[in-house]
Amino acid sequence: MQRGEGVMERKIPKNVRQIGNVCDPLKIYVEDYVDTYLNQLCEREADGPVGAVLIGEKVTEGEQEYQYIYGAIRMDEILRDNDGVEVSADTWKQCCELCKAFFSEGEIIGWCAVIPGIPLAMNPTLKKMHQKLFSRETGIFILKDPVCKEEMYFAPKFNDLMLMNGHYIYYEKNPEMQNYMISSRKKIGVTPSEVVADRAAKSFRDLVQTKMVMQERYKIRKLVYGAGMILLILALIAGISVFNNYDRMKAVQMAMEAMSDTVHAEDVKKEKPKEKSPKKEEEKEVKRKKEKGEGTYTVEPGDTLAGISKKAYGDFSHVEAISKKNELENGNLIYVGQKLVLP
C-alpha cells in the first residue's frame, strides 16, 4: 500500500469508531495508536503547552477527499504565546527529520496543540501559527484541552480553518507508530506496554458496548417486526371481510333502489288525476244551468244554434227559442266569445 497524496489506493477501514457527526465533505480517519498517544500527551502535560505534528496521507476518490492520520511526532519545544503557541523553525525542522526517519512514506499533514488555560476555540494567534506552518488549503489542526479532556478538529475550508463536526478512529496494525513510541518513551513517560494495555482495555470496552447496542437494536427490531406482522394480519382480515361482504352490500343496494323506484311509481300513479272529457264537462255544466231554469253559453269556434241546442237540451228543437231569447235576426250570425242566454 503506497502512502502519500494521490488517487484512492487505500481501502476505507471497516473497523472504525465514529466520533461526533461525520457530515463534512472531508473525512478524517485517525489511527487508534495515534489517538491514544495524543491523549497520553494531553494527560502528562497539563501544566504547560505541548505540541505534535501529524503524519499521514491525503487521498481522493472522485470528488470525495480523505485524510488518514497514522502517525504523530511530539515537538520538543513549544512556547506559549498569549492565547496560542509559537513553534520555532528548529523545532519544525527536527519534526521533519523524525518524520523521514520513522514514517518514510508519510508526510506532515497537520499538527496538534495541547494548551491549558485557554478557551477551546480557534483564535487569531492559533490561526496565524497555523498559516505559518501550512498553506491556506492544507493542514489539519487538533486543539486539546488537558483539563476538560475535550478536543476540536479544524480543517481548511473556504480559505479558512473551519471546525469539523466529527471524525473516525480506525484500527489496524501500525508498526511505524509503535517503533516511534518505543524510541520516545523516555521523553514522554509513556511505555508501549501502557499504550497497548490502554488500547486493549478501550477496545474491550468498545466491544462490550457495541455488543450491548447490537442486542438492544435486535430487541427493538424484533418488537417492530412483531408489531408489523400483527398489523399486516389485521389488514388482511379486514380486506378479506370487506371483499366477502361486497357482493352482499351490492345486492342490498340494488334491492333498496328497486324498492325506491316502485314506491315512486306508485306515488306518481296516485297523484295523477283522471282526465275528463271536455265535451262531457261542458254538457254537465249546461245541464246544471238548465236545471236552474236559465243560463248562459259562450260561443266557441264552429258552434251553431243547432249545435248549441243539441248541447244544452239534447235535441235541435230549441233553435228558435234561443234566437228569440237573444234577439238574433239571423241565427247563423253568431261569433266566437258571444254570450247567449239559454231559455
Residue 331 near residue 324 (C-beta atoms within 8 A): no
Residue 2 belongs to a domain: no
Q: Give, in order, the Cα–Cα distances in Å from 186 to each of 191, 201, 224.
A: 8, 23, 55
Q: Give, in order, the Cα–Cα distances in Å from 68 to each of 21, 29, 114, 211.
A: 18, 5, 21, 27
Q: Residue 3: what pLDDT?
A: 47
- Of 253, 268, 303, which residue constitutes the final position of a domain? 253
- Taking residues 28-54, what's their average pLDDT? 88
- What is the domain extent for residue 224? 193-253
Hey, is 25 helix, strand or coil? coil
Residue 46 near residue 116 (C-beta atoms within 8 A): yes
Residue 219 near residue 205 (C-beta atoms within 8 A): no
Strands, E, within 149-189: which ranges?
150-157, 160-163, 166-170
Q: Is the pLDDT assigned to residue 268 strictly greater than 70?
A: no
Q: Residue 202: what pLDDT?
A: 59
Residue 142 belongs to a domain: yes
Quick one: 180 and 197 in the same domain?
A: no
Residue 263 belongs to a domain: no
Q: Is the pLDDT assigned to residue 189 strictly greater than 50?
A: yes
Q: Residue 269: what pLDDT?
A: 60
Residue 268 belongs to a domain: no
Give the count of domains, the chain: 3
Count how many residues are written for the chain. Answer: 343
What CATH number did the domain enclosing 286 receive? 3.10.350.10
Q: Could you report how far apart the first and last alpha carbons of the chain are, in Å? A: 139
pTM of the model: 0.55
What CATH number did the domain enclosing 90 receive? 3.40.140.10
Quick one: 186 and 197 in the same domain?
A: no
Quick one: 88 and 203 in the same domain?
A: no
Q: Residue 328: what pLDDT?
A: 80
Quick one: 171 and 311 in the same domain?
A: no
Quick one: 110 and 166 in the same domain?
A: yes
Of residues 319 and 132, the one with the higher pLDDT is 132
Quick one: 151 and 82 in the same domain?
A: yes
- Of 148, 170, 190, which residue constitutes the final position of a domain? 190
Q: Is the pLDDT assigned to residue 161 strictly greater than 60?
A: yes
> Could you report the per-residue pLDDT of 101-155, keeping only the tens digit for each?
999 888 999 999 999 888 999 999 999 999 999 987 789 999 998 888 899 999 9
Residue 153 near residue 164 (C-beta atoms within 8 A): yes
Query: For the chain, what percent of residues have pLDDT higher than 70?
Result: 77
The dihedral sign for the CA sequence 43, 49, 50, 54: positive
- Of 137, 171, 190, which residue constitutes the final position of a domain? 190
Quick one: 175 and 217 in the same domain?
A: no
Quick one: 184 and 208 in the same domain?
A: no
Half-sphere exposure in the Cβ direction for 313 (13 Å, CA): 18
Q: Is the pLDDT assigned to residue 221 strictly greater than 90?
A: no
Residue 229 belongs to a domain: yes
Residue 264 belongs to a domain: no
Residue 271 belongs to a domain: no
> Could you report the per-residue pLDDT of 227-242, keeping only the tens digit for each?
888 988 988 887 777 6
Q: Give, in order, the Cα–Cα distances in Å from 220 to each of 88, 168, 210, 213, 273.
A: 56, 26, 15, 11, 78
Q: Residue 76: what pLDDT?
A: 86
Please give the grid coordinates belonging to residue 270: 296516485
Residue 265 belongs to a domain: no
**What pLDDT band is residue 169 in, cutting at 50, 70 and 90?**
very high
Residues 6+ apart with CB under 8 A from 279: none
Quick one: 182 and 227 in the same domain?
A: no
* Cβ-based burial of 30 (10 A; exposed 0-12, middle 13-18, buried ≥19): buried
Quick one: 338 and 232 in the same domain?
A: no
Hey, is 77 helix, strand or coil? coil
Quick one: 80 and 117 in the same domain?
A: yes
Amino acid at 164: M
Quick one: 79 and 162 in the same domain?
A: yes
